[in-house]
A and B are shown apart, each in its own frame.
Chain A
Amino acid sequence: EAGVAQSPRYKIIEKRQSVAFWCNPISGHATLYWYQQILGQGPKLLIQFQNNGVVDDSQLPKDRFSAERLKGVDSTLKIQPAKLEDSAVYLCASSLEGSSGNTIYFGEGSWLTVV
């Protein structure tokens, strides 16, 4: 079974530029998550989708971050304009459904460096 796919794996951009990350979840998984992991910290949820609807985006900096999950499958996370503090790993994850007991599977992450 294929896992969660993410691209690009690595990206270096200058501050104020824009960047987009793509995620393809495990087939059949209704729930998709984007987490931000800053070096030395645990992952923090940015946004959670159930199919193509947003369940939780309370920690998403909406002035610069946006995400969509058209057709309830793939998802894109965009940052515009980027700041130095956005340097982090962006982890996409998916689960069958968004209930407390479901196992969440993570992709390998997209590593962003803002210079």
Chain B
Amino acid sequence: AQSVTQPDIHITVSEGASLELRCNYSYGATPYLFWYVQSPGQGLQLLLKYFSGDTLVQGIKGFEAEFKRSQSSFNLRKPSVHWSDAAEYFCAVGSNQGGKLIFGQGTELSVKP
């Protein structure tokens, strides 16, 4: 069965520091992978997606993610975090049945001054 695991429930980083959020997936074939961000009281906004090709994907707001098939991972990175990046981040895999998204449980990011 398809599944997504985000091992870190909560991460705190200092403003200006680098960030890496982990995501591991379980999927039989080449996956479609997504990262979404959810600010408090808001819906989900797509940061980036991976379908095929280059394994390093660039997204909005300075985020990038790298697909590593050997590790079944799709980790999200940002070189320098801003206070406005504080939010909940969700990794998801696109199901091969109807295209629905299967989400991880999310990682809450806090940014300290």
Chain A residues with Cβ below 8 Å from B43 are 4, 91, 106-109
Chain B residues within 8 Å of A48, by CB: 98, 100
Question: How far, in whole Å, are A56 and B101 apart by their CA atoms in the complex?
Answer: 12
Does A40 contact B49, Cβ atoms closer than 8 Å? Answer: no
B52 to chain A, nearest CB (A): 9
Residues in B neighbouring A93, C-beta threshold 8 A: 44
Chain A contact residues: helix, strand, loop or mixed? loop
Residues of A within 8 A of B106 (CB): 40-42
**Distance in angstroms between the alpha carbons of A31 and B106 in the assembled complex:** 24
Stretch of A13-21, A62-70, A76-84, A97-105 lying at the B interface: A97-105
Q: A43 interface residue, CB < 8 Å from B?
A: yes
Which of B32, B100, B104 has its CB near the most chain A CB atoms (within 10 A)?
B100
Flag B53-75 by CB within 8 Å of A: 1 or 0 each.
00000000000000000000000
B51 near A40: Cβ-Cβ < 8 Å: no
Looking at chain B, what size class is its interface with the partner chain? 20 to 34
B residues with a Cβ closer than 8 A to A are 4, 32, 34, 36, 41-46, 49, 51, 90, 92, 94-106
> Is A100's CB under 8 angstroms from B103's CB?
no
In the bound complex, how far is the Cα of B43 from the Cα of A100, in angstroms? 21
Min CB gap B31→A, angstroms = 9
Inter-subunit contact B105/A98 (CB<8 Å): no
**A18 to chain B: closest CB distance in Å?**
24
We find that the number of chain A residues with CB closer than 8 angstroms to chain B is 29
- A12 CB-CB contact with B under 8 Å: no
Name the CB-closest residue of A to B32.
A100
Which partner residue on chain B sits nearest A100 by CB separation? B94
B94 and chain A: residue at smallest CB distance: A100
Least Cβ–Cβ distance between B113 and chain A, in angstroms:
26
